[in-house]
């Protein structure tokens, strides 16, 4: 299998922030869309891109909440988008294309928390896969004319090193045979990477490149109040006093540090001519299929070969088209 999954040796460390990566970068005249660009990593990505001069559209399920979150950030607008609703996705793309020209940067960062039980959308599709992959797949297809019109566009899918723990369940992507929360999360994150691989192979001729980014385990300044405290401590993400542990070299980052690799993928000239790759710590990650344990001091984040396999990438694209009704179903992947 040939690929470009080799580190470049960039000047940015794992501790670099989004502002540091964008220092000296002028994005004036560039248009960007960030899904869920009003919270967490999305908000930091929105803020950094806009600060560098880009006009950013935040796509959000709750526009009022999103407008409150981005209030005061120049060059940012908010539009409604529900990634579980195909009609909403098409309407968003139609509105955006009617009022803008080329789309230079698309950051697919929206996700839903991993539910403790099987949750299906109105179509019978597992909700993490439907939001994190399928909704973004439809959105990206609908925005293809705008990406092509930019004459140099990048699509950035936010993924996770957790892709290493699961492949695509081709026979049962919606867990009709029994729900596994971790497996569902890993499947979606693998799909994010395979989508970037397939997109780059299909659209590079249009000067559109795809990237998948592991931002790190983003601890930030607040710990999710619903998280298991003991599990957080065992993972080395929280100290004995309940404070978040920030250790970029070990993959534990602030939102500003986590967003750095997202904006690196979206803008860096070091990636010119390189696409369809998985990045972490502001560089292309190596391939590593060794079964490595997750410990308090080490979180494996290299890319697994199953997530960059071109045949699987093409197969996922075909599955997405069938699930969206863009080609006849053959019974594979549908929940019954």
Average pLDDT by consecutive 10-residue portion of the chain (336 residues)? 85 97 98 98 98 98 98 97 98 98 97 95 98 98 98 98 96 96 97 98 97 88 47 70 84 95 98 97 96 74 97 98 81 37
Please give the full DSSP string across 291-306, using - where no structure is assigned: -----SS----SBPGG
Q: What is the pTM of this model?
A: 0.93
Predicted confidence at residue 235, as pLDDT, reads 64
pLDDT value of position 292: 82
* Residue 237 burial (C-beta neighbours within 10 Å; 0-12, 13-18, 19+): buried
Place of tokens 């298991």: 228
Domains of the chain, start order: 18-323 (3.40.50.720)
Per annotation, catalytic residue among 125, 179, 185, 211? 185
Q: What is the CA radius of gyration of the chain?
A: 19
Alpha-carbon distances of 241 from 231, 245, 288, rounded to whole Å: 14, 10, 35
Residue pair 46/37 in contact by the 8 Å Cβ criterion: yes
The separation between CA 227 and the C-alpha centre of its own chain, rounded to angstroms, equals 22
User: Is 185 in the active site?
Assistant: yes
φ/ψ of 301, rounded to 5, equals: -135, 0
Helix (H, G, I), strand (E, B) or coil at 144: helix
pLDDT at position 298 is 67
95 alpha carbon, distance to own chain's centre: 23
Report the alpha-carbon distance of residue 160 to residue 177 in Å, rounded.
25
Closest CA to 191 of 220, 237, 152, 158: 158
Q: Which two tokens stand for residue 334?
A: 């549908």
- What pLDDT digit, counting tens, does each position of 177-206 carry? 999 999 999 999 999 999 999 999 999 999
Please say whether the beta carbons of 67 and 78 come within 8 A. yes
CA-based nearest residue to 303, from 185, 197, 154: 197
């Amino acid at each position: 299998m040939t690929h470009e999954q080799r580190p470049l040796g960039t000047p940015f460390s794992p501790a670099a922030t989004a502002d540091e990566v964008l220092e000296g970068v002028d994005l004036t005249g560039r248009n960007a869309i960030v899904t869920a660009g009003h919270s967490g990593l999305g908000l930091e990505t929105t803020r950094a891109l806009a600060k560098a001069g880009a006009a950013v559209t935040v796509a959000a399920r709750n526009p009022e909440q999103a407008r409150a979150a981005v209030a005061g950030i120049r060059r940012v607008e908010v539009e409604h988008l529900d990634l579980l609703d195909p009609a909403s996705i098409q309407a968003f793309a139609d509105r955006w294309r009617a009022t803008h020209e080329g789309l230079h940067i698309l950051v697919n960062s929206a996700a839903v928390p991993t539910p403790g039980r099987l949750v299906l959308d109105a179509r019978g599709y597992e909700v993490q896969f439907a939001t994190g992959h399928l909704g973004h797949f439809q959105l990206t297809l609908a925005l293809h004319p705008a990406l092509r019109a930019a004459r140099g566009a990048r699509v950035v899918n936010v993924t996770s090193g957790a892709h290493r723990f699961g492949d695509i369940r081709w026979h049962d992507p919606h867990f009709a045979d029994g729900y596994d929360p971790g497996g569902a999360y890993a499947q979606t994150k693998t799909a994010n990477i395979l989508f970037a691989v397939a997109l780059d192979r299909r659209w590079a001729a249009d000067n559109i490149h795809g990237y998948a980014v592991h931002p790190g385990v983003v601890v930030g300044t607040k710990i999710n109040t619903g998280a298991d405290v003991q599990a957080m401590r065992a993972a080395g993400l929280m100290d004995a006093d309940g404070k978040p542990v920030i250790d970029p070299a070990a993959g534990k980052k602030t939102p500003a540090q986590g967003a750095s690799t997202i904006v690196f993928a979206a803008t860096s000239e070091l990636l010119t001519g390189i696409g369809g790759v998985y990045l972490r710590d502001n560089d292309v990650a190596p391939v590593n299929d060794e079964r490595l344990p997750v410990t308090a001091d080490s979180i494996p984040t290299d890319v697994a070969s199953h997530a960059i396999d071109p045949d699987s990438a093409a197969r996922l694209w075909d599955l997405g088209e069938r699930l969206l009704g863009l080609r006849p179903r053959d019974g594979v992947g549908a929940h019954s």
